[in-house]
Amino acid sequence: MAWIHEGDLNGEGLRVAIVLGRFNSFITERLLEGAMDCLERHGVDTDDIDVFRVPGAWEIAPVARKLSLADEHDAIICLGAVIRGDTPHFEYVAAESAKGVAAVAMSSDVPVVYGIVTADTVDQAIDRAGAKSGNRGFDAAMTALELAALYGYIEEGDGDEEEEEDGGAAEQK
């Protein structure tokens, strides 16, 4: 039988960084509200949440990288909004911000979570920031909590198959 390992959503004792792009702030502020709501509901103390504001989506990955190297947080959440316009600028920023966050995540010892909304229209972006399609900031925070617990479980790796102190759990199926 396989052992199933997964993280839980208990944020007690976690330190979380949020890197927030200011461009399209009418969307990104709603993403931030969603992330903060999620983290607080799941036990993260607001004093343990650091928000780093950057000009736009392009600047999110480099700041996330610096935070990852500083090793002061248990998870890093990247939030921003890129909305298609009349020029190819959207394609460059959307693609490169995604690649940048992915590169940081692959080289980081803590979860680095992508929560950058890319939308064809303002209405789509609004929907993804809490109107009709849920709040991608909330979703990114949930992912960060689960991965922080799973990373903690993996780092513990003591072979005990009972519930771990850090929230990771293994179950044989």
CA atoms within 13 A on the CB side of 82: 22
Residue whose entry in the numeric block shows the structure tokens 């004093």: 47
Q: Are 70 and 108 in contact (CB under 8 A)?
A: no
Rounded CA gap, 109 and 21, in Å?
Answer: 23
Backbone torsion region of residue 127, taken as left when φ is above 0, otherwise alpha when ψ lies between -120 and 50, otherwise beta: alpha
Active-site residue 42, yes or no?
Answer: no
The sign of the CA dihedral 32, 33, 38, 42 is positive
User: Which phi and psi (to 5°) does residue 20 adopt?
Assistant: -120, 120
Catalytic site residue from 5, 42, 73, 89: 89
The catalytic residues are 89
